[in-house]
Structure 1
Amino acid sequence: MNHRKTLLAASIVAGLCLSVGAYAQDNSQNQQNTQNSSAPNKKETKTLSTVTVIGVRASQAKALDIKRDANSNVDVVTAEDVGKLPAHNVADTLRALPGVDISSSSAQEGGFDEADRISLRGTAPSLTQTLINGHTVGSADWFVLSQGNTVGRSVSYTLLPSEIVSRVEVHKSSEARFQDGGTTGNVDIITRKPLDFDKQYTADASIGGVYSSTASKTDGQFSGLFNWKNADSTFGVLAQVFDEKRHLQREAQELPSGFTQIGATSPVAATNPDLVGVYIPSLLGSTLFTQTRTRKGGLLEAQFRPSNDLTLDLSGFYSKLDADNYNRNYMLWAGNWGMTQAPNPGYTVQNGVLTNATYAGKAGTAYTVYDMIARQSQAKTYYYTADADWNVSDNVTATFQAGTTKGTGTTPKQYIAELTDNYGGGASWQTHGAGSPVDWSVGGDGSLAGAQWNGTWGDQLVKATDKENWLSADFTQYMNTGTLESFNYGVRYAKHDRATISPEGATPGDLWGALQGAATANYPGNFAEGLGGQFPRNIWYFTQSALANAVNSTATWLAGNDGPTGRHNYGADWTVTEKNAAAYFQANFQGDNWSGNAGVRYVNISQGINTYAATTVNPDVSSLFGMWDREHYSNHYGRFLPSFNLKFNLAQDLIARFAVSQTQTMPDYSALGASSWGSDLSKTGGGGNPHLKPVLSTNFDAGLEWYFMPRGLLAATAYSMNMKDYVAYGTTNRQLYSELSHQLETYNVAIPLNADARLSGLELTYNQPIGDYFGVNLNYTYADGSSSFTWADGTHNLLGTSKNTYNVGAYFENDMFNARIGYSWRSSFLIGLQGAVPYYQAATGTLGASIGYKATDWLSFSLDALNLNNPTTKYYQSAYIPTAFYENGRQYYLTAHLKF
């Protein structure tokens, strides 16, 4: 029997998802002695052969070894060395795996230059669970909507630096011992452990810089690791730190409210009846977004092995992202006058859209509106765990863990100014479908002298917290005879709290007066040149510091927030509390040419949801922004979740797999708890539904894997998911408080609801070494899904489903040089609702490359280039109605890696 393969399989079967005792190790070490769970007696141990992973080829070989020897379907990415994942972002690294999709935003903040969310097999990110060392990590977001109205269960990868990662495991089939919560699978980020290092002293440092082509800025990047263990390998301490900064500049054309339809009662219908039912753009914007992201934090871990049968572990991780940003959006305001003013003769209508129109200037009409929004933004997360790994007897092992984690996303202050023009200069536009920006222009004076004050708005303080405390106990019983190799059993209890608070925070003063004479600047001279199209580009704006100073000097902060004259926005406050008690039993089997497991996990979840509803009589609380009744809802769910995995060794290098399971994911927190909210201009909005049921999915996998040579793999996996109580979004009318009319009005509100859904697909993988130094990696994923819910556009699409996704990569490596290039592409997919209308992200592809040079055993250099093709991220409502076009530019990382 191959000792190495047998023991790898044992580590996966007996403890892959356990938070300690898991197969977690440094990439430049000798592996530790491991218990062989296939042995008749647990005391019969063997030592894994030494594996030194220091390069691309060895890293890929190790990943394939783990995949091959696992009893369930898992894909793996390992770091070549400390701080040397294939990409600088963990999510960007995982996009190269089959069945993995990434997105760069979590709400409606638009597309950015790096991945932020992970999803599996054509589903939404909220159905994929991200863990660190097998346990939960509190999530936090820097963007204000992700902190309040749009809060999922996915984890923001912007807080997780690649330097902490030893490897990442993507589990696509379930086992009873896996923590519940991922409908489509789990992503488990494995960090290093102090006693896993080969040397008594280990030190690594990465020092470099990152350059962004649109921001034209270079920023410093630093990470360092120090590990020490005593000569007996009974006590060790690991410390990692990171301090990384970078500037972002996004140049765009945005249509924030999409297109609106001219109604039969609109004034323009009387003069132009042919325009009834025709769509016109509500807002057409030239948008400049700038941001500085500074991520700091570290990982500290201590291990103590007082005896051969007991290992104790204390671990702590902290990451903080400061993400102050400034968004300027100069917009043609057709939603303000397009319903009342008729276009000049000669306009054209195609596919229900007013595609070409010119409007004569009309005195007193504001043809533009200009929003300048600067925000202080921050996200941070931490976890602490205490673990004990105990060999209870010759045949029983136990792992215990207590842990706590908390993520916090805050927008302490928002500095907002909204201006309109006062010259009535007229306007025009011409659309070109969803693939190209809209050409538009306005007449008159667009300078500061031609602007007039329109007000300020928005909650000034938004804070979201996401925390969990848990206890777990996991046991493995090894058997002495027969095909029953071992069985796992255990319990876990967790209490999770998600809360959003949003007091208004400030009473506005004479902001417009304070801005008179304030410092201004202009959009870049080459603004949005990569997007094409003809729209305003030479645009002025108040500088970020000038706007902040004006607000701070005129507003009264956090004064008089309670009571009928206060500014507390109770309608934005909500909480969701969940208590999860789980127990599982899993039997592990092994025969001459087969292995597998069967088990069941019982999950008992209690929910408490607190929110507010607008009212007009006998309110529980009130303020200047309306009256509300407090509402509380309770839900309880108990469910058995069975799983079964079977693996056949059809030949020495040919493996067949089959898996079936049921998995469960609770609805997004905001989908359960968020109070209804709306836009006073469009009279649309969103809200939660506390009666939502969890998503229950019945999953099937069948695959064939041919390991035709070292580092070579040809594989195909078919999968299907039948989802009961899948969460879609419908619309309904609700009475909400209008800040303009100061009374309740009817809004068309998007709310989540349960529906049935199905999804099936195919994953194809091909890894081929070419000679000693070259190789290629190819994969393709097909996903086809639909739900019983019908969207407003008549489709039955699932959120996040790209029908086609593929990755193409090639690499070279010798003892001194290495190089990689990769291209990733995914087809269009449904994002969600913009107002009450579904909108999509268009097909997109990105090209990345890296080169490395090893100068000495202790010094190497790398140059990584992201988004080399400078992709345009496009959003649309239909083939004829665009939503946004984003250009983020290219990013280059130059890094020196030192090892001591």
Structure 2
Amino acid sequence: MKYRKSVLTSAIVTCLAFSAHAQDAGQQQTATDLDTVQVIGIRGSMEKSLDTKREAQARVEVVTAEDIGKLPAKNVADTLRELPGVNISSSSASEGAFDEADRVSLRGTNPSLTQTLVNGHTIGTGDWFVLSQVANVGRSVSYSLLPSEIVDQVVVNKSSQAKLVEGGSAGSVNIITRKPLQFADNLTTEASVGAAYSDLPDKTEPQVSALLNWKNDANTVGVMVQGFYEKRSLRRDGQEVVGGYGVIPDDAAVVATNPDLAGVLYPNLLGAVYFDQTRERKGGVLDVQIKATDSLTLNLNGFYSKLEADNYNRNYMMWASQFVNTQAPNPGYVIKNGVLTQATYAPTTSATVTPYGVYDMISRPNASSESKYLTLDADWQASDNLNFKFQAGTTDGSGKSPTQDVLETGTAGNAGASWSMGGLGDPIDWSLGGVNTPANHLPQNGWIFGGQAIDVKDSEDWFAADGELFANADSVLNSFDFGVRYSEHERKNDFEIAQGPNFASNWTDISAYPTTGGSYPGDFGSDLGGSVPGGIWYYTPSQLAQINADFANRDPVSRFYFSDVYGVKEKISAAYVQANFAGTSWSGNIGLRYVKTDTDVSYNQSLPVNSGIPGAISGSAFGDYLPTTVQNDYSRLLPSANLKFDLSDDLVARFAVSQTMTRPDYSALAGSLSLDDLTHTGSGGNPQLKPIVSTNYDANLEWYFAPRALLSFGVFAMQLNDYINFGTTTISYKDQAASYASGTDVYADYQVSVPVNTNGNIKGFEVAYQQPIGEFFGVSANYTYADGEASGGGPLNGTSKNTYNLAGFFENDRFSARVSWNWRDDFYAGVSRTDEFYQKSVGALSASLSYHVTDWMTVSLDGLNLNNPVYKYYTNSDAGFLPYAFYANGRQYYLNLRFKF
């Protein structure tokens, strides 16, 4: 009995230290005495991470903070990507790559299949980018809202247990924060003052964080307060083939004189994209921990983070579809594999002005995202053999685009154009003729668009109760876990205005527009390569705001954009049982989790004008619509089993099998309908989708051959039932631009991408190695192979076949240095309009330096993207793979002075 009580006491101490709700103590953190929980430096972090991994009853990877406020990398997601089987991405929709990792995924899957938890519970999230708010709305969490300063340890669960909250088919990431009674001293203060420098925008901005922790002498009451403020600038130079690749039809006028052009592909809406942004993140953490009695501990934990993300995107484009079907290119054009790869079009003198270019300027002031939660935990030792944990919590996230100031205008009237394609990895050289100034654009050939008043909410309220019953010390049945959880989750966008031109204004009169403005940087595109137009002008954000104030129609009735209004409500009930076993040199668990999900999916069905259908609402310029709610209810049994064998003092073998579940993305169920009147493409949702259920197999061999050293090899397989992929169908919608031009309603067939249930599978292996070398040096490396495909041989979103990471470090009592290289292969990135697009392989170099000036002051310098990677995308077409987009973000440097008392 004394042995069993000591195990129970150890589990309670661990809960006090980390408050990891409903998680196995050995899996989530090391059971150490509170007064000795202190990790200093790279070697200390590695040692604690390996200890946690080795003692876990399931398959996990672990990262531990090197000190208060100091992860191995500046960004949480960047830290995780150095683990085997972990991939990162910097976007969640089709916005392309930025300089900061924002999403995490496991073993070559979509980020939505990886669940992110904080202290074992879900967290409401939001996105600053408008397409992530209303178009491609996934279930992944934005890591840009989670500063590294709040993190004590991160545990990546690669195999499931019944006690884990469901939601991650591929696995889950549990971010563990610090607790007041975890600190060794009665009073701890820590502050960090620094600066972030981004070389492409050439700006330096402040970053500040502070922590105050107090606990009493009896170690029964503690309070921790933490705050953070970070600001930095971002600039991204890019090239995009926004309109994909058009096809010259067989009956086009140009085919009569140039028959070899029939059926040939050409790049449409080929643009030079200049994006800049200011990101300002601020928030804090409050934690109050009370050990009310020897058997009852209470914990109140609150978190708030807001990211203000004003941004301005300019895209100066060649509008090839305006002239390739009617005008023959100059002699010498080149056709390769059915693609017009090189062509020059001479200027014309027609009385009817043809815009050879089109220019989009989109400013989004006050774009933001936000996340917060409040939890109350109670840990009650009911008896020597029975322990209960209770938790009630609420979390809210939001993503806001209150204003989009937009002008789309024609350019290069009758001025001619040219392009030359090099290869899949090279930007396209292109040019437009004419004079490129604010005085000669063509507003009559453009439009005014952009959603207004977008405020997307993501919220959840929950209650959970978990129990653990310990068996007798001589029993193979070590303990028995059981519990229930109930939650109500909602993701919704209630309102949106899609502005258009105010036809009563003089918006087509060029003389009504400013004659001055800004211009692209002189070095624009220098990191991309290729040749693009130079000296591109733009209206400043304030000028653009005034243009919209003068010429835009933002009437909340006639411009109500019902297609982007949606809601998903889920009532989720779960219960589980799990038996934990232990014998001589082996342990394991087997469990069953039952989950019932009741879903109401709300969206607006588009109808013809004056449809006469009962319940239809009219008055919107986008046609009649019918508010619709569809129920999508289901229940699942999710079994799991884990076995661990201590083959020797240094050798551990693990085996796991489980079924896991991920609910469909919000936009897949209900999401917005996004249409492009230029290309007649778009995307929509499917409220009848089934959840993804994955059957997972995992085996791993771990050799701890020296202190802080590991060599491991593992294999895995995932059978994804009802995996969600995309299909394409044809739907007729009103063409707003053509309707205005003709003075009558014009409807056109749009090719719309619709999510559908299919199946998929992933299999692969992982190799990991880390080892200190001598007294001061160390290395780590890992490699992951993942081979995945959807039914019929199609690609799986996010699957890179090869991923590897290399890192080396030096550390003595005063100085430490670390350098790492991360690489991932090409992967399928999703669907943009109707085009499948892929991200090419990319590697990133990062480094960090740290110097302990005194016992209470440390200076650190972190560098990210030191090799200045160019992110490249390509699209799949009938002619094979073709270049789609290229982005360069430059390098980022973070200098910090950290003070600890």
Partner in structure 2 of residue 484 of structure 1: 477
Matches within 5 A, 1:240-639: 240-363=226-349, 364-376=353-365, 377-421=367-411, 423-453=413-443, 454-480=446-472, 481-504=474-497, 506=499, 508-509=501-502, 510=505, 516-517=513-514, 519-552=516-549, 554-555=551-552, 557=554, 559=555, 561-562=556-557, 566-616=558-608, 617-619=611-613, 620-622=616-618, 623-639=620-636
Q: How far apart are residue 398 of structure 1 and its match?
A: 0.5
Q: How far apart are residue 535 of structure 1 and its match?
A: 1.1
Q: How far apart are residue 555 of structure 1 and its match?
A: 4.5
Q: Residue 704 of structure 1: which of 701, 706, 717 is its match?
A: 701
TM (norm. structure 2) is 0.94
Name whichever of 61-70 and 877-886 sits farther off. Answer: 877-886
Deviation track 1:589-611 (CA, whole Å, cap 9, x = no partner) reads 11111000000000011111111
Instruction: Tell me how far apart the structure 2 counterparts of residues 554 and 354 of structure 1 sit (CA, whole Å).
Output: 38
Q: Is the 8 A contact 1:598 1:643 kept in 2?
A: yes
Instruction: Tell me how far apart the structure 2 counterparts of residues 506 and 276 of structure 1 sit (CA, whole Å).
Output: 38
Q: How far apart are residue 523 of structure 1 and its match?
A: 1.1
Instruction: Tell me how far apart the structure 2 counterparts of residues 17 and 441 of structure 1 sit (CA, whole Å).
Output: 58
User: Is 1:230 matched with 2:199?
Assistant: no
Deviation track 1:611-670 (CA, whole Å, cap 9, x = no partner) reads 111112125212111111222211111111000000001111000000000001111010
Q: Residue 844 of structure 2: which of 836, 843, 846 is its match?
A: 846
Superposed structure 1 runs of 4+ greater than 3 Å apart: 5-25, 31-34, 47-52, 505-515, 552-557
Q: 1:621 is aligned with what amino acid?
A: I
Q: How far apart are residue 423 of structure 1 and its match?
A: 3.4
Q: How far apart are residue 140 of structure 1 and its match?
A: 0.2
Equivalenced residues, count: 874
Deviation track 1:766-811 (CA, whole Å, cap 9, x = no partner) reads 001100110000000000011114xxxxx51111000000000000
Instruction: Tell me how far apart the structure 2 counterparts of residues 90 and 371 of structure 1 sit (CA, whole Å).
Output: 34
Q: Give the 3-state SS of the residue equivalent to 1:98 in structure 2.
A: coil
Instruction: Tell me how far apart the structure 2 counterparts of residues 32 and 175 of structure 1 sit (CA, whole Å).
Output: 18
Q: Is the 8 A contact 2:307 2:370 kept in 1?
A: yes
Q: Give the 3-state SS of the residue equivalent to 2:451 in structure 1.
A: coil
Q: Is the 8 A contact 1:757 1:786 kept in 2?
A: yes
Q: How far apart are residue 272 of structure 1 and its match?
A: 2.2
Q: How far apart are residue 675 of structure 1 and its match?
A: 4.6
Q: Give the 3-state SS of the residue equivalent to 1:392 in structure 2.
A: strand
Q: Is the 8 A contact 2:357 2:413 kept in 1?
A: no
Q: How far apart are residue 261 of structure 1 and its match?
A: 1.7
Give the direction of change, closer, same or farther, for the CA distance of 1:798–1:21 in structure 2 (3 Å limit): closer
Give the direction of change, closer, same or farther, for the CA distance of 1:506–1:726 in structure 2 (3 Å limit): closer
Q: How far apart are residue 266 of structure 1 and its match?
A: 2.8
Q: 1:532 is aligned with what amino acid?
A: G
Q: 2:537 is aligned with what amino acid?
A: W
Q: 2:240 is aligned with what amino acid?
A: E
Matches within 5 A, 1:62-73: 62-73=48-59
Instruction: Tell me how far apart the structure 2 counterparts of residues 467 and 891 of structure 1 sit (CA, whole Å).
Output: 33
Q: 2:475 is aligned with what amino acid?
A: G
Q: Residue 827 of structure 1: which of 825, 828, 842 is its match?
A: 825
Instruction: Tell me how far apart the structure 2 counterparts of residues 269 and 835 of structure 1 sit (CA, whole Å).
Output: 27
Q: 1:234 is aligned with what amino acid?
A: T
Q: How far apart are residue 267 of structure 1 and its match?
A: 2.7
Q: Is the 8 A contact 1:32 1:196 kept in 2?
A: no
Q: How far apart are residue 13 of structure 1 and its match?
A: 11
Give the direction of change, closer, same or farther, for the CA distance of 1:540–1:369 in structure 2 (3 Å limit): same
Instruction: Tell me how far apart the structure 2 counterparts of residues 864 and 850 of structure 1 sit (CA, whole Å).
Output: 4
Deviation track 1:571-606 (CA, whole Å, cap 9, x = no partner) reads 111111111100000000111110000000000111
Instruction: Tell me how far apart the structure 2 counterparts of residues 58 and 332 of structure 1 sit (CA, whole Å).
Output: 56
Partner in structure 2 of residue 665 of structure 1: 662
CA RMSD of aligned residues (A): 2.4
Instruction: Tell me how far apart the structure 2 counterparts of residues 702 and 863 of structure 1 sit (CA, whole Å).
Output: 39
Instruction: Tell me how far apart the structure 1 counterparts of residues 214 and 78 of structure 2 sit (CA, whole Å).
Output: 31
User: Is 1:164 matched with 2:150?
Assistant: yes
Q: Give the 3-state SS of the residue equivalent to 2:131 in structure 1.
A: helix
Name whichever of 671-680 and 491-500 sits farther off. Answer: 671-680
Deviation track 1:60-106 (CA, whole Å, cap 9, x = no partner) reads 01000000010100000011111111112111110000000000100
Q: 2:565 is aligned with what amino acid?
A: D
User: Is 1:124 matched with 2:121?
Assistant: no
Q: How far apart are residue 14 of structure 1 and its match?
A: 9.3
Q: 1:671 is aligned with what amino acid?
A: A
Give the direction of change, closer, same or farther, for the CA distance of 1:519–1:682 in structure 2 (3 Å limit): same
Q: Residue 88 of structure 1: which of 66, 69, 74 is its match?
A: 74
Q: How far apart are residue 241 of structure 1 and its match?
A: 0.4
Q: How far apart are residue 32 of structure 1 and its match?
A: 10
Q: Give the 3-state SS of the residue equivalent to 1:651 in structure 2.
A: coil
Q: Give the 3-state SS of the residue equivalent to 1:323 in structure 2.
A: strand
Q: How far apart are residue 273 of structure 1 and its match?
A: 2.2
Instruction: Tell me how far apart the structure 2 counterparts of residues 896 and 447 of structure 1 sit (CA, whole Å).
Output: 47
Q: 1:263 is aligned with what amino acid?
A: P
Q: 1:642 is aligned with what amino acid?
A: P
Give the direction of change, closer, same or farther, for the CA distance of 1:14–1:87 in structure 2 (3 Å limit): closer
Instruction: Tell me how far apart the structure 2 counterparts of residues 840 and 8 of structure 1 sit (CA, whole Å).
Output: 51
Q: Is the 8 A contact 1:461 1:505 kept in 2?
A: no
Instruction: Tell me how far apart the structure 1 counterparts of residues 23 and 575 of structure 2 sit (CA, whole Å).
Output: 19
Instruction: Tell me how far apart the structure 1 counterparts of residues 708 and 512 of structure 2 sit (CA, whole Å).
Output: 63
Give the direction of change, closer, same or farther, for the CA distance of 1:811–1:11 in structure 2 (3 Å limit): farther
Q: How far apart are residue 837 of structure 1 and its match?
A: 1.8
Q: 2:685 is aligned with what amino acid?
A: G
Partner in structure 2 of residue 37 of structure 1: none
Give the direction of change, closer, same or farther, for the CA distance of 1:21–1:391 in structure 2 (3 Å limit): farther
Q: Is the 8 A contact 2:34 2:181 kept in 1?
A: no
Instruction: Tell me how far apart the structure 2 counterparts of residues 135 and 611 of structure 1 sit (CA, whole Å).
Output: 29
Q: Give the 3-state SS of the residue equivalent to 2:452 in structure 1.
A: coil
Deviation track 1:662-689 (CA, whole Å, cap 9, x = no partner) reads 0011110100002533211111110001
Q: How far apart are residue 552 of structure 1 and its match?
A: 3.3
Deviation track 1:727-752 (CA, whole Å, cap 9, x = no partner) reads 01010011223212234432110000
